Amino acid sequence: MFTFSEIQSEVKRGAIRDQSGTVFDDGIKNVINRALFRLNREAPWRPMRRKSYFETVTTYTTGSGAVSATNDSRNITVTGATFLTDGVQIGRRIKISGSGRYYQIREITGETTLVLDREYDGTTTTSGTYSILAQEEYNMTLQGGHRMFMWHEEYGYPYQMIYITDQDFYVSGLHVTTEAIPLYYRMWGQDMVIEQVRTPSTISVVSSDATDVSIPITVFGIVSGYPDYEIISTNGANGTTTATGSKTFDSVERVSKAQSTDGRITVTANSGDTTISVIPVGEQTWGTIYRKIQLYPLPNTVFPMNVQYYKDPYKLVNDGDVHELGGEFDQSLIYMAIAILKYENNQSEGDKFTGLYVDEVKKLRRSMMDKIDWFPTLKRPKDSRQTSTVLKVHPYLGYQQVGSQYGPRRIP
């Protein structure tokens, strides 16, 4: 298996670069990493398959029995609650005695105080009860790719979760407040945020290494209702000393650093109570991507949700680094990197090296690709069965018919 340095030499040789100089070194390193990420996306490669899990979060009632709520007010106080310490997320639904409505949490302003999404319509009370429903949204594992499936064993045997789109979910008329053992998951979004700010807040940055001084960290988000950003540099004398920006963010969308660091950069809000993002060690200058999913029904117990996925590769940085795909992929990686360089210089040989790359990938597919068996397949009309990997066709349509009602039936 070639090291990063050896791959650079092969790419230089194939692209007819002068290997005695270093003027192209940084550019070639970037091209090789671009080729690596493209190659990784070509197929579900066996070397990149991983398993992980996360634990569900169920109903929260700490301090229940001492709720203060005022009619036509959004502010709620719960004596004895520890919202910040326990990491209660905004967006979770909450039921308060005296009202038949389910509210959503818009802000958490303290350990015992929160703000609802609408005015409380019940009777004013200082001794009510409440229940925050189970958590719906979860972060997936870091470096999780776009191919994955999930299962749990809460029934006493492996149960594969059924994927549904947001559109199918909302058109189905399901009660979003139902709590039970989850059966379905919805397609995840992605951003650079572990958890949103609980209430509008300034943003702080700190490194795990004292030598990371004056490192610019850029935070993008919403300030006073408008898109905005702020560059917050780590402490100029000691990277482990917290540095705080001046703008108050309603929400955060993206976080990135401008250069290599020896430590992890942790970005927080609400006086450190909310960890917004963690950017890894090294030359990685973009922020960490967090992919999110939503479960239905809301989990009524705490249990591990298992995930199988294909990870994104680590970026090659040092000359002695080796990529995670393995030696069998070296030649295709070199071909793609050379093809990119040829195309960038308008050289006709780009097509030839692309053809060599395609041929190599075909060979790899036969020997190194997982044969995925969880892609949904359509069954014939009127088939009554629906499983986690089989979706029913609308009963009045055949495979060859296309129209507004073509496709999987609505979930009952």
Helices (H), 18-150: 25-41
Counted residue by residue, the chain has a size of 412
**CA–CA distances in Å: residue 246 to residues 131, 162, 229, 232, 243:** 36, 45, 11, 9, 10
pLDDT score for 15: 83
> Nearest 5 degrees, angle CA 253-CA 254-CA 260?
165
Q: What are the phi and psi torsion angles at 328 (to 5°)?
A: -60, -20
- Reading the block at residue 153, the tokens are 């064993």
pLDDT score for 403: 45
Rounded Cα distance between 151 and 234, Å, is 41
Task: Check residue 48 and report its DSSP letter.
Answer: G
- What are the strands, taking DSSP E only, across 8-167? 49-55, 67-69, 75-78, 93-96, 102-108, 113-116, 125-128, 130-132, 137-139, 144-152, 159-160, 162-164
pLDDT score for 13: 87
Residue with tokens 């000359």: 319
Helix (H, G, I), strand (E, B), or coil: what is residue 68?
strand
Residues of the chain with pLDDT under 50: 374-386, 388-412
pLDDT score for 287: 66
pLDDT score for 86: 92
pLDDT score for 283: 61
pLDDT score for 313: 87
List, in order, residues 6 or more apart from 246 with CB less than 8 Å away: 202, 230
Neighbours of 165 (CB within 10 A): 11
**CA–CA distances in Å: residue 285 to residues 34, 168, 245, 260:** 15, 37, 20, 7
Q: Which residue(s) pair with 53 in the sheet?
A: 306
- Among 97, 99, 17, which Cα is nearest to 64's? 97
Q: Which residue(s) pair with 180 in the sheet?
A: 299
DSSP symbols for 263-309: S-EEEEETTTTEEEEEEPSBS--SPPPEEEEEEESEESS--EEEEEE
pLDDT score for 17: 63
